[in-house]
């Protein structure tokens, strides 16, 4: 394994929601760089006693790459641990490109993204027949600008299921923009704070009252806002399990 580094998705919080492969690689690692502000430290419970652990919250990109390069040069087993899945707001691409430039090999081990953990703890399905068959993952503009064709107001017109990351601090503006963009003000909304952590909170409302409820709960970070009719109770049944519907595996019953 020396000479290669592993990017690992640590999952949303619950230390059992990491892949078996990710867990093993962390336990075997000599050098660990992890996103301390979001990764549950419990994930690092069974590391080697000699493992050197760096919190990337204190590091810039050059420093992260410097630590990886030095470790790989010394033949140390190195892992870079991201929250959720690294492919979603993980800033993983810029690291991979730098490693390509240095000729350092890497592999990515996926994780359970927080947006999937949120559906699990809400006990909902994002893609309900007749309600929404599309999920938009997005964020509000912060210091990272939004590309001009991806403004929230434009995305809202689809009335699809929407999962909004990194934006809980702007929830009032978020809701008013979603209404201006075309969601019914009574569209259900859930805010999930620290999904699967021991201090998880779930706040349920609609576009007119969720902001107030979130403020009352003092939720200011590490939360997802999920929006859409999928949170309601009206939908069509699936074709897949329809008893009259023939699939590749099963012949549908005759209608009487
Ligand atoms: N790669 C991560 C997302 C990193 S961006 C993933 O796949 O989940 C950080 C944002 O993700 C936070 O601002 C918050 O919006 C969301 N987030 C991360 N972990 C969360 C959790 N356990 N519960 C709710 N939201 C979470």
Distance (Å) from CA 189 to ligand 1 centroid: 17
Whole-structure pTM value: 0.94
Residue nearest to atom 10 of ligand 1 (CA): 166
Top pLDDT among 248 and 41 is at 41
Multiple choice CATH, 4-109, 3.40.640.10, 3.90.550.10, 3.40.1010.10, 2.60.120.590: 3.40.1010.10
Assess whether pLDDT exceeds 90 at residue 226: yes
CA of 112 to the centre of ligand 1 (A): 10
Largest CA distance in the chain: 73
CB 10 within 8 A of CB 194: no
In angstroms, the CA 206 to CA 185 distance is: 7
Ligand 1 residue neighbourhood (C-beta within 6 Å): 12-13, 38, 82-85, 88-90, 113-114, 117, 165-166, 192, 194-197, 222-224
Radius of gyration of the chain (CA): 21
User: Bridge-partner residues for 53, per DSSP?
Assistant: 32
- The two structure tokens encoding residue 102: 């240095």
| CATH number 1.10.340.30 given to 114-231 | no
- Each domain of the chain, given as residue ranges in start order, spans 4-109, 114-231
- Give the tens place of pLDDT for each residue, 50-84: 999 999 999 999 999 999 999 999 999 999 999 99
Tokens at 103, concatenated: 């000729």
Residue nearest to atom 21 of ligand 1 (CA): 194
Q: Candidates 41, 200, 222: which one to mutate for ligand 1, based on the most atoms within 8 Å of Cβ?
A: 222
The residues, ordered by sequence, that sit 6+ positions from 106 with a Cβ below 8 Å of its Cβ are 4, 5, 6, 7, 96, 99
8 A C-beta contact, residue 228 and residue 131: yes
Residue showing tokens 């938009």: 136
Nearest ligand 1 atom to alpha carbon 88: 1
At 109-165, the pLDDT tens digits run: 999 999 999 999 999 999 999 999 999 999 998 888 999 999 999 999 999 999 999
Q: Which residues have CB under 8 Å from 14's CB, separation 6+?
A: 40, 117, 196, 197
d(CA 208, CA 231): 15
């Amino acid at each position: 394994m020396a000479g290669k580094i592993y990017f690992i998705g640590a999952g949303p919080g619950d230390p059992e929601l990491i892949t078996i492969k990710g867990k093993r690689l962390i336990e075997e690692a000599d050098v660990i760089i992890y996103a301390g502000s979001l990764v549950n430290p419990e994930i690092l419970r069974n590391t080697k006693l000699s493992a050197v652990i760096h919190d990337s919250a204190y590091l810039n990109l050059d420093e992260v790459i410097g630590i990886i390069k030095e470790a790989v040069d010394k033949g140390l087993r190195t892992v870079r641990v991201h929250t959720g899945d690294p492919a979603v707001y993980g800033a993983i691409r810029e690291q991979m490109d730098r490693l390509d430039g240095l000729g350092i090999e890497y592999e990515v081990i996926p994780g359970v993204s927080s947006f999937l953990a949120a559906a699990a703890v809400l006990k909902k399905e994002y893609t309900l027949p007749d309600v929404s068959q599309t999920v938009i993952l997005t964020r509000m503009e912060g210091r990272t600008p939004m590309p001009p064709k991806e403004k929230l107001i434009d995305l809202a017109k689809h009335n699809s299921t929407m999962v909004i990351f990194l934006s809980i601090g702007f929830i009032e503006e978020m809701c008013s923009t979603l209404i201006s963009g075309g969601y019914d003000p009574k569209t259900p909304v859930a805010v999930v704070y620290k999904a699967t952590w021991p201090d998880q909170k779930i706040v349920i409302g609609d576009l007119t009252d969720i902001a107030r409820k979130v403020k009352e709960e003092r939720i200011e970070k590490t939360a997802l806002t999920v929006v859409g009719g999928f949170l309601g109770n009206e939908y069509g049944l699936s074709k897949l399990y329809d008893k009259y519907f023939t699939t590749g595996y099963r012949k549908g019953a005759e209608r009487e």
